[in-house]
Chains A and B, each alone.
Chain A
Amino acid sequence: MDLTNETIKERLTGKFGDQLSQFEEPYGMLTFEAPAALNLKVMQFLFDDTELRFQFLTDLCAVHYPDQQGKELAVVYHLHNLADNVRIRMKIFVPVEKPDVFTATQLYSSANWMERETYDFYGVNFIGHPNLIRILNVDEMEYFPMRKEFPLEDQTRIDKDDAMFGRGGSGN
């Protein structure tokens, strides 16, 4: 059976209507956005549906876009249907002040540490996670180091202009 990106898109829009948006196919992988309140429902549907069967969570991570007002943090899920060998990518955007996302640990045991890592570095609050504590950083840390407001180099250095690295002027 061939499961194409069009079929997946049809099944998803048939179930969730226009709540899912931004369907794209960068480098052949179907990518879409889901509202934060629906992430678990969409994943459950992708998991249980007899045609879709996305039962393998390949990867879970977050991205920080400080310039997008109200949707600064993106949680990105890479799901894999091993039987038909199709991968998809689902994105959830949440505001940085209230980064609440439902946990996927009930569906995928592998999500446990991946969500802890995402919390550790970006502060995404996974509601319902059994043990949401830091995993790679020290427990005493009070900030989320992968966010963009923590630049890697000392920004007081004046001998190195950020324009040389292709983005923005100095001071960012």
Chain B
Amino acid sequence: MSALRADLRSLATMLLLVATLAACGGAPATAPDAPTAAPEAPTAAPEAQPITIRIMTWHGPDGNTAYYEGYKTLTDAYTAANPNVTFEFVYQPLDGYKELLDTQFVAGSAPEIIHMQPWMINEYANKGVLHNLNNAYNSTSPYVDGPAWIASFAGGEDTFAGVRSSNKFGGIFFVPSDSSAVLSIGQPFYYNKDLFRQAGLDPENPPQDWEQFRAALAALKGAGVIPIAADNGRWIGWSLGQVGYQFGERYVDQFYDAKFTGDRGLEFYWDKVYLALANGQLTDAEYYGDMLSLWKDYAQYWQEGWTGTAEADAPNLFMTGQAALLQSGFWDFQSYSALIGDKFEWGVFPVPVITSATSSFGIGKYGAPAGTQDYGFTVNAAVESDPALAAAVIDFLQYMTSLEAQTTYVGIAKSFSPVVGVPIPDEIRGFIAPEALATAREVVGPSFIEWGDGAIWPGLSQDFLLGNIDQAAYQAEVAASSQEGAKAYVESMLGPDGFQASIAAAQQTLADLQAEGASELMIASQQRTVENLQLRYEMMQTYYTP
């Protein structure tokens, strides 16, 4: 038996080794880079037990932006002041980001802090996997002078009202980053001035409305230049957005009573759109004809074979001087500056507006400053089981959004900040839409397409743009798809786990706050949350036709 024991011992040792190696292999990616700027020292420290906070983001060390460098500077500064708290970055490009996140949540291994885009936040919040930050926002922050952390964000409490109304818990589930609720920040065209000159266009006077834009595109095409670099990924949604969200301002208000419209209605705008989609009221709006034919006309100015061009290849066309225009955001400013260098002269101009000269339905203006926060860092609800970890996560997020930390951050990342008083870097001022034209609100646009089945609508859109299916068939298919999804959402909200449960939970929170003698601001904020939930419930009960 001793021989057997020896064998079993060997086996156990081997298994231990294998398990250890597997554990090493499975560890999340950790970013090794050093900070590039002197960190600001935080002033408070959570409990002293060792804590590791994982931050998941699509801005990685090898990305095109300096965002990662900015985040790393802040985490290093925080660790310097709180040596028991360390950070690990989990980097995943946006392509595959949600897929990875889905599997991590299902496996219970999602990071503590997760960077999310607007559409992800509500989806995950409604699934109950994110931590509700209501109480944290309404409490004081050690890094902010004032009664509550929420007051340190530009626009204050009001800019979170819509956020609370857009999920079924009436909560705030993210800390804003790299954005501003009080500025209209556009996603303009980067353009090659040399190619404009080559086509006989004045590069210092880029097109401002769609007619001028179309003429410029035709001139570029005529000069043998690719007017716009397109791809088979995000461009479909982006190009649709450029054209589509210039139609249908406040279009859904016609379906609802006055108590659900106006400024208060802004707070549950998305519910109004979902409800109209579910009721089939957005299957065929009168502006769709113009909107879709304009979009299809626009496609003739994209490079040949764009449906076979990957997302990463479209910028190459612009960088190599083959395409005159490329749409992107301020986040690419630094990397494009470096990549283009002195190869050609370039600039940016906003997406031209669609005025009545192009379509009688064109609204001729840009979206108003959102007035609402839209994206940022969320917190995994799993931290609630570890109070020390939860406290450290909240404390870090409060530090990260302090005036000092944000000022340091935007200086490195060349980004916008959601925090009051943080300066705007000069390099990106050109990305702010002209104030006089930035007034459009509640623009319904192509929601009936974009809110459809994600497995189908991009392919259907390509078929439509390539002329493989006609407009009526396209419109009918995408509308049916989005109606199905909207119905499922509305019915789930009208079910026992929907509004009824959310209102009961929100009322209980309100009662608890009152019993605890919470501040007036917190109580008023929670009261508004309850009222909004009740209004949304009433609206869906009143108007939904199964």
- Does A associate with B in a complex? no
**Residues in chain B within 8 A of chain A (CB atoms):** none
